């Protein structure tokens, strides 16, 4: 009898629609690999649903709060259902950008300088000297990210308005100029390095990530061999320092601008990277010789408890 896998998707975070796309793609691929698959749109009754389903494993395709922050991982531990990706502690830690930076810095991983501030204070006066970046402490997919350019006289007013839905604590970080790089880790090895170039606009925002043709992926990234290797080393070190398991993806900036600092820094580690048609991890896996089906099969076969 084939192994029964529940693919967890949807949920109620701001990344719900992306999670549904990731989950559907994974479910189709697993069926193609011979698994018995039940797609599950996660709601508040998820414990009841999973208790009735009794799957052999759960492939976690959730993104954002509740699915990526240790919450669903803790539930799966209680229900004794083996699951993919990182466990409770690593998920919670990686989701909180500032605490993750503390751990990564202690492991020798360069990260941007920054500090936590109250959003209302950040709307009244610049928390850092421009240019800088303001972002929610615990969101993904570039949700709520604001780049404050050099020479801007006033801080972003959206931070003080009722339209801001990402919590009162925000992270202000020094802006690192240069190139956007990303590298996935699969188990104990780093995959290839991609440079991401927005097809339009100035940076890799939500639309650039998920709209068809929204970004250009250069794989392998056109970097000097020592820099390419260093990106892989930093990604693996960050993955291990945070205690990640299965698949993760580190996002980095490399300042090779004329007269720039030459800095190579890790912005964050994603413990539940996207698995859509335009996602980066499947592309890096393909570059390493793995089909999408082989990738999701590996993820399910890697599923355990106590991660």
Please list the active-site residues: 15, 141, 210, 249, 251, 268, 270, 274
Structure tokens, 183: 């590298």
What is the DSSP annotation of 184-247? EEETTEEEEEEEEEESSSSS--HHHHHSTTSEEEESS----HHHHHHHHHHHHHHHHHHT--SE
Helix (H, G, I), strand (E, B) or coil at 274: coil
What is the C-alpha to C-alpha distance for residues 232 and 94, in angstroms, rounded to an integer? Answer: 18
Measured between alpha carbons, how far is residue 116 from residues 89, 113, 137, 275, 293 in Å? 21, 11, 8, 30, 41
Least Cα distance to 266 among 280, 248, 283 occurs for 248
Helix (H, G, I), strand (E, B) or coil at 145: coil
The DSSP call for residue 42 is E
Percentages helix, strand, coil for the chain (3-state, rounded to 5) are 35, 25, 40
Structure tokens, 239: 């993955």
């Amino acid at each position: 009898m084939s192994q029964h896998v529940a693919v967890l998707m949807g949920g109620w975070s701001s990344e719900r629609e992306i999670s549904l796309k990731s989950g559907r793609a994974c479910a189709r691929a697993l069926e193609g690999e011979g698994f018995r698959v039940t797609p599950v749109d996660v709601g508040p009754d998820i414990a009841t649903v999973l208790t009735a389903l009794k799957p052999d494993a759960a492939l976690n395709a959730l993104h954002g709060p509740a699915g990526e922050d240790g919450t669903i991982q803790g539930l799966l531990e209680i229900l004794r259902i083996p699951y993919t990706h990182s466990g409770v502690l690593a998920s919670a830690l990686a989701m909180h950008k500032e605490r993750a930076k503390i751990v990564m810095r202690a492991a020798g991983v360069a990260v941007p300088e920054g500090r936590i501030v109250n959003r209302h204070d950040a709307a009244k006066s610049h928390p850092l000297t421009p240019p800088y970046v303001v972002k929610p402490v615990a969101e993904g997919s570039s949700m709520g990210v604001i780049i404050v350019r050099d020479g801007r006289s006033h801080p972003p007013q959206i931070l003080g308005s009722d339209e801001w839905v990402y919590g009162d604590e925000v992270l202000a970080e020094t802006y690192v100029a240069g190139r956007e790089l990303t590298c996935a880790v699969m188990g104990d090895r780093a995959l290839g390095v991609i440079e991401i170039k927005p097809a339009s606009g100035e940076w890799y925002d939500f639309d650039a990530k998920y709209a068809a043709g929204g970004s250009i992926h250069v794989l392998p990234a056109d970097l000097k061999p020592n820099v390419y290797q260093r990106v892989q080393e930093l990604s693996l070190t960050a993955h291990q320092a945070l205690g990640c398991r299965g698949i993760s993806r580190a996002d980095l900036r490399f300042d090779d601008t004329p007269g720039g600092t030459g800095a190579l820094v890790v912005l964050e580690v994603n413990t539940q990277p996207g698995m859509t048609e335009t996602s980066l991890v499947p592309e890096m896996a393909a570059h390493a010789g793995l089909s999408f089906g082989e990738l999701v099969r590996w993820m399910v076969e890697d599923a355990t408890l106590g991660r």
